[in-house]
């Protein structure tokens, strides 16, 4: 078989002779490096041959029939699965078609995507010769599509390399900052991990357990993602649980559980930080025990425990599994793992719109997953952020259409409840032949979290009578204009929404082809002449946005003041000093007053808080008066992290009340979510926006 690889290399070399890459090196270097990486994964001969030939059809006009006659139909089929369409990178519809083609081929033969991932990995390694804009576009595409795909297939060895390379080209300064930080702490980290690893080995030896105990390295991009999440929670880098991490490899699954017991006897486990992926494997075939313990010196330590075979599958995913399945007549477990792809492709065939297809692939295939249970105990995999409605559609389309309520863990919940790992979900269905609500398509309402469920709702509305959709769309457009306090004629609406025909716009809006939020963004771009600032003979007060403060990491927001001795300004490197009566005083780093401080424990790490530009907006709420109405309204506003500057209420003889709220919001997206929440408050009739004295808010 080695002769076949040699023949493939010589044929590829002949086909690409005279061709150069943008870097100036001979083109044959690219398929050769792609094939060599797959050799490292120890894939079969046909996969290596296909990797060497994967560009000859596209770049050298070699017919697939010729490849089939020279190297066999299996190789030709693999090459066809990998071959890209001409100029697919520049045209969205061709990109979507190529992606669809790759996924269909992948459902038939997983080796197609392994070649594609190796191809992308080598392209990323040589990206520096391309223009900056193209580098950024390819790097973003890698983070959006190829890296999550490698994760989905469990190929960590490819995923972390793609992540770090893409991050380098998207944010080089941040990449170097984190890289230098990890390098600076490497010696300290390796010393600490070496000590705890040695202690664990001794404890395992006493329990007659043999295995390999090593430190687990952190990739730069995964560290960046964790830092971002922790910073949003007001935590420091030292709070990242798996900054110190061990990997333990043993001979059997029984030894995994025995090793877990040894670890928990040795160190105290942190509640809520244990996962058993051996008993409940991830959909990408990953199996291991994860636990986090408070280790020597009070530092959290994450430990992964696997067998040697499970570790190889964790590193190489389906590539390793492909090797294990060779020679077996059937591998039902492997086939089950690929059903997620085939199911997605089944309903995607009904799609006509390119953007819907790409959205569904990115969301339902490439995003994180949650695993929930049916009332009978069957496991159902859903996209992270899914709701009971998504669960209903995952079970059966008709069940989703008839969903009127849900129970999670035996308790009634609202339909916009986000499902968590381990939840038991029961959908309450109407006995009548009813359909979904159009509100389910409004992203601000949060009823549907997966692209597949959203597509099924859209298809239901598209199949309804056109006249009903037009009437429904007209009501939605009126509501959106009223909400934005806009007075626009049909011509202006059509121009802003990029439509030529009002009926077509209304039909699409009524069927869910476009959402209220999308229409609202476009309508908000219409500028109106500012009205006089004098209303009722009294000048309106000018509004100002609240400023950002200082973030005291690890502690939360505290009272802060700028030190008069050094007067730091945003951008300066700063340090905090905890005073006895005036909160935290913020100094420049290197300030002489801190250098002579004899109580260093009162010096804390501080940072300039994340800066948001806030816009003042006045909204008017009309409702039937009742006890607790103001409380419910302000709670809804607070739930969206929106600050209220003022509230003015006015009662009317007919039992209704009008509230005028002045709020500070970041952008139209947040404002749209707020309107949706307020409209859901009991007894509210209408929510509109008053533009009389405040500048128009435009989308970011």
Q: Which long-range contacts (CB under 8 A, 24 or more apart) does 94-97 make?
A: 95/358, 96/354, 96/357, 96/358
How many beta carbons lie within 10 A of that of residue 240, not counting itself? Answer: 19
Of 241, 247, 224, 243, the residue nearest 186 (C-alpha) = 243
What is the distance between the alpha carbons of residues 645 and 694, in angstroms, rounded to a whole number? 13
Please tell me which residue in 58, 89, 141, 439 is annotated as part of the active site.
58
d(CA 257, CA 287): 13
Task: Please spell the DSSP secondary structure of 191-216, one letter per residue.
Answer: HHHHHHHHHHHHHHHHTT--EEEEE-
Q: Is 332 helix (H, G, I), strand (E, B) or coil?
A: helix
Q: Which of 124, 122, 215, 110 is nearest to 155 (CA)?
A: 110
- Mark whether 254 is an active-site residue: no
Give the DSSP per-residue string, 552-609: ETTT----EEE-TTT---TTS-EEEEE-SSS-EEEEETT-HHHHT-S-GGGEE-EEEP
What values do phi and psi take at 426, rounded to 5? -125, 125
Give the pairing type, strands 684-690 and 300-307: unpaired
Q: Which of these, 602, 489, 500, lies nearest to 552 by C-alpha position?
A: 602
Task: Give the pair of three-digit tokens for residue 179.
Answer: 């890289």
Could you tell me which of 450, 441, 434, 431 has the C-alpha nearest to residue 388? 450
Q: How far apart are CA 237 and CA 224, in angstroms?
A: 10
In the block, which residue shows the tokens 């006015």?
A: 650
Q: Which two tokens stand for residue 636?
A: 């809804």
Q: What angle do CA 659, 663, 664 make, to 5 degrees?
A: 175
Copy the structure tokens of residue 76.
Answer: 């030709």
Question: What DSSP line would sit under 247-305, residue for residue?
Answer: EEEESSHHHHHHHHHHHHHHSEEEEEEEEETTTS--TT----EEEEEE-GGG-EEEEEE
Beta bridge mates, 535: 538
Which segments of 53-171 does DSSP mark as H helices, in order? 56-60, 64-71, 73-82, 92-108, 111-125, 132-141, 147-152, 156-170
CA distance 530 to 532: 7
Q: Is 312 part of the annotated catalytic residue set?
A: no
Six token digits for residue 554? 């690890």
The partner residues of 620 in beta bridges, in order of sequence, read: 660, 688
For residue 448, give the nearest of 539, 358, 495, 383 by alpha carbon: 383
* Token pair for 57: 């059809």
What backbone torsions phi and psi does residue 248 show, to the nearest 5 degrees?
-115, 125
- Name the residue with tokens 């129970």: 407
Distance, in Å, from the CA atom of 156 to the CA atom of 154, rounded to the nearest integer, reads: 6
CA–CA distance, 208 with 412 (Å, rounded to integer): 50
User: Which of 10, 14, 25, 59 is labelled catalytic?
Assistant: 59
Strand 603-604 versus strand 643-651 pairing type: unpaired
CA–CA dist 667, 303 (Å, integer): 42
Active-site annotation, residues: 58-59
């Amino acid at each position: 078989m080695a002769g076949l690889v040699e023949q493939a290399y010589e044929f590829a070399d002949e086909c690409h002779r005279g061709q150069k890459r943008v870097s100036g090196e001979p083109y044959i270097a690219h398929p050769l490096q792609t094939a060599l990486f797959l050799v490292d994964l120890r894939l079969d001969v046909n996969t290596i041959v296909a990797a060497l030939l994967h560009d000859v059809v596209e770049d050298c006009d070699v017919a697939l029939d010729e490849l089939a006659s020279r190297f066999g139909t299996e190789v030709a089929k693999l090459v066809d699965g990998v071959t890209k369409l001409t100029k697919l990178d520049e045209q969205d519809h061709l990109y979507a078609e190529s992606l669809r083609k790759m996924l269909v081929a992948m459902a038939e033969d997983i080796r197609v995507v392994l070649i594609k991932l190796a191809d992308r990995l080598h392209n990323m390694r040589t990206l520096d010769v391309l223009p900056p804009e193209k580098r950024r576009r390819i790097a973003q595409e890698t983070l959006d599509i190829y890296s999550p795909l490698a994760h989905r297939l469990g190929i960590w060895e490819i995923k972390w390399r793609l992540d770090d390379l893409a991050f380098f080209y998207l944010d080089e300064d941040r990449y170097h900052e984190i890289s230098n930080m990890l390098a600076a702490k490497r010696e300290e980290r390796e010393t600490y991990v070496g000590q705890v690893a040695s202690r664990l080995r001794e404890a395992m030896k006493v329990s007659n357990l043999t295995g390999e105990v090593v430190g687990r390295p952190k990739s730069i991009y995964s560290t960046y993602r964790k830092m971002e999440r922790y910073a949003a929670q007001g935590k420091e880098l030292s709070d990242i649980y798996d900054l110190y991490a061990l990997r333990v490899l043993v001979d059997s699954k029984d030894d995994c559980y025995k090793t877990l017991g040894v670890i928990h006897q040795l160190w105290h486990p942190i509640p809520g930080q244990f996962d058993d992926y051996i008993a409940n494997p991830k959909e990408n075939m990953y199996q291991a025990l994860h636990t986090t313990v408070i280790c020597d010196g009070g530092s959290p330590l994450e430990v992964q425990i696997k067998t040697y075979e499970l570790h190889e599958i964790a590193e190489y995913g389906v590539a390793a599994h492909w090797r294990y399945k060779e020679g077996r007549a059937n591998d039902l477990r492997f086939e089950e793992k690929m059903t997620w792809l085939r199911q997605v492709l089944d309903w995607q065939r009904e799609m006509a719109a390119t953007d819907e297809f790409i959205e569904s692939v990115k969301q339902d295939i490439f995003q994180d997953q949650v695993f929930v249970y049916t009332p009978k105990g069957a496991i159902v995999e859903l996209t992270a952020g899914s709701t009971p409605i998504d669960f209903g559609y995952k079970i059966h389309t008709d069940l989703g259409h008839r969903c009127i309520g849900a129970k999670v863990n035996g308790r009634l919940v609202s339909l916009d409840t986000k499902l968590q790992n381990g939840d038991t979900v029961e959908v309450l269905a109407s006995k009548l032949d009813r359909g979904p609500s159009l509100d389910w398509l409004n992203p601000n309402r949060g009823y549907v979290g997966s692209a597949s469920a959203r597509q099924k709702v859209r298809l239901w509305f598209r199949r309804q009578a056109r006249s009903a959709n037009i009437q429904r769309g007209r009501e939605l457009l009126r509501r959106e204009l009223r909400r934005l306090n806009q007075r626009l004629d049909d011509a202006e609406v059509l121009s802003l929404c990029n439509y030529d025909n009002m009926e077509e716009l209304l039909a699409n809006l009524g069927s869910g082809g476009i959402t209220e939020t999308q229409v609202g963004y476009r309508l908000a771009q219409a500028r109106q002449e500012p009205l006089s600032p004098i209303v009722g003979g009294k000048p309106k007060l000018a509004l100002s946005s609240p400023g950002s403060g200082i973030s005291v990491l690890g502690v939360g927001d505290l009272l802060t003041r700028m030190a008069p001795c050094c007067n730091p300004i945003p951008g300066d490197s700063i340090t905090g000093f905890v005073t006895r009566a005036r909160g935290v005083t913020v100094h420049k780093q290197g300030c002489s007053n801190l250098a002579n401080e004899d109580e260093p424990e009162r010096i804390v790490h501080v940072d300039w808080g994340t800066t948001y530009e806030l816009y003042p907006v006045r909204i008017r709420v009309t409702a039937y008066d009742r006890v607790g109405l103001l409380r419910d309204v302000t709670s809804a506003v607070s739930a969206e992290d929106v600050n209220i500057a003022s509230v003015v209420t006015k009662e009317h003889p007919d039992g209704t009340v009008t509230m005028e709220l002045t709020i500070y919001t970041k952008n139209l997206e947040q404002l749209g979510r707020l309107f949706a929440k307020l409209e859901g408050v009991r007894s509210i009739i209408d929510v509109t926006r008053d533009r009389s004295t405040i500048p128009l808010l435009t989308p970011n």
